[in-house]
A and B are shown apart, each in its own frame.
Chain A
Amino acid sequence: MTARQITNPISEETLLELKAGDRVLLSGTIYTARDAAHKRMFEALQNGEQLPFDIAGQTIYYVGPTPAKPNQVIGSAGPTTSGRMDKYTPALLDKGLKGMVGKGYRSPEVIESMKKNKAVYFAAIGGSGALIARSIKSMEVIAYADLGPEAIHKLTVQNFPAVVIIDSEGNDWYQIGKQQFQEEGPV
């Protein structure tokens, strides 16, 4: 199974073609945000304020990297559990967010909002932060610098490996993949 090369931001045409289970290599610009940055962005929207960057068409990577050593672009940088961002995600999707990279389940509300807004959810391999760091070519803090590893960073990535978990039609690879290998009925 070969991985499909994807350029970020992802074109609308490509987004609609991606199917749950597809392996991809992401290249281009993505943004980091996790718990604390999501909370702040959500509160900004509730207060009628602008987001710190234009998220229309963009992809957010749920990551809080380790500090970079002097010779590194970024420290280890694998995905964190996406479900903690679920509460804040539909509001961001409504603002035009098109891609999310993390690991783990999404809530029914997020999946509905993804279908409505035509967005895609990718998983990277949790616990492979040293390997993933190799595909990150530049990093720049663009907002909420006081949050340290939780600040919003702009990343340039090249051949960042991921799998489409939920596509824009709401198909969920965690369900499909598991069913293929289940040897007994659900517990």
Chain B
Amino acid sequence: MQVRTIQYKEIVDQVASMCQEANFELGQDVVAAFQSALKTETSATGKDILEQLILNADIAKSERVPMCQDTGVSVFIVEVGQDCHIQGGSVYDAINEGVKKGYEEGYLRHSIVDHPITREKSKGYNTPSIIHIEMIPGDELVIHMSAKGGGSENMSALKMLKPSDGLEGIKSFILDTVAKAGPNACPPLVVGVGIGGNFERCAYLAKKSLFRHIGHRSELPEIAALENELMEKINQLGIGPQGMGGNTTALDVKIEIEPCHIAALPVAVNLNCHASRHKELRI
């Protein structure tokens, strides 16, 4: 069996560059969602906000400055091909070194405290990052990165529902989470939902769903229909851009499901602000 070798240094450099690109250049899917919302938004203030967000994305891209001062926690989902070998150090160290380099050289904000209680500032520039590893067949290394803002993360929620709460219970928990978040999570939002698995797994599924492009629907027809239905209901809440009223509260709703215990119905709702910064690279 052939094993492919990937150099540690290559991961460092590519991750550094992807961190900067994520913060400077908003994905085309998000910009297109702003433009589409501008056509349907009926609030004058809401329209004005969407226009400013489009202008802000243009400035960030052309001047190579972060679109938002909260350059986030760097969250990675790394798919490691089982036939690839990383030479020179661990994949965790390579990614953290890349984040440190990318954030420091890109004038991105260092937003991590080492100790959650004493709030002591971390010594590594915006590290440690949060790194999830998934093993895949083949010899590729696929790195998905998100610069995840704190405001929307703070308004996210997880609930262990009872199986008898059913679909209605799931819907009302999601709507309730978005309603409570209101302006705090920086709407218009991308709403990521994980259903099933267990306590920690549903949170991971919710996060993972946010890495899907806006407009990309679940391959399961009943879940795609639920995504559409929730999108419509969320946009009827009236929260609007920045919570100042309007019918653009969500740019998209993403749902991932997994099998779970006979006694359980875990649901996690991970909110992403409109600065939905996601990048992907393959080595």
- From B26, which residue of chain A is reached at the shortest CB distance? A127
Interface SS of chain B: helix, strand, loop or mixed?
loop
Contacting residues of chain A (8-41) with chain B, CB-CB under 8 angstroms: 21, 23, 36
Q: Are B151 and A104 in contact (CB under 8 A)?
A: yes
A125 to B49, CA, bound (A): 7
When the two chains form the complex, which single residue of A123, A133, A176 contacts B65, counting CB atoms closer than 8 Å? A133
Known: A75-B107, A80-B151. A131 touches B243 (CB 8 A): no
A3 to B233, CA, bound (A): 32
Interface-side segment among A46-54, A64-72, A93-101: A64-72
Please indicate the chain B residues that have their CB under 8 angstroms from the CB of A68 in the complex. 107
When the two chains form the complex, which single residue of A78, A80, A181 contacts B240, counting CB atoms closer than 8 Å? A181
Please indicate the chain A residues that have their CB under 8 angstroms from the CB of B244 in the complex. 123, 163, 165, 173-174, 177
Does A63 lie at the interface of the complex (its beta carbon under 8 Å from any beta carbon of B)? yes
Known: A123-B183, A126-B273, A178-B237. A75 touches B49 (CB 8 A): no
- From B53, which residue of chain A is reached at the shortest CB distance? A128
Q: Are A178 and B238 in contact (CB under 8 A)?
A: yes
Does B274 lie at the interface of the complex (its beta carbon under 8 Å from any beta carbon of A)? yes
Chain B 76-118, CB-CB to A under 8 Å as 1, else 0, gives 0000000000000000000000000000000111110000000
Q: Are B176 and A129 in contact (CB under 8 A)?
A: no
User: On chain A, which size bracket covers the interface?
Assistant: 35 or more
Does B219 lie at the interface of the complex (its beta carbon under 8 Å from any beta carbon of A)? no
Does B262 lie at the interface of the complex (its beta carbon under 8 Å from any beta carbon of A)? no
Does A77 lie at the interface of the complex (its beta carbon under 8 Å from any beta carbon of B)? yes
Chain A 52-94, CB-CB to B under 8 Å as 1, else 0, gives 0000000000011111110010011110110100000000000
A180 to B46, CA, bound (A): 12
Q: Are A104 and B182 in contact (CB under 8 A)?
A: yes
B42, B49, B68 — which one has the most chain A CB atoms within 10 A of its CB?
Answer: B68
Does B124 lie at the interface of the complex (its beta carbon under 8 Å from any beta carbon of A)? no
Q: Are A127 and B273 in contact (CB under 8 A)?
A: yes
Q: Are A123 and B242 in contact (CB under 8 A)?
A: yes
Q: Are B182 and A163 in contact (CB under 8 A)?
A: no
A115 to B237, CA, bound (A): 28
Known: A36-B119, A69-B107. A80 touches B70 (CB 8 A): yes
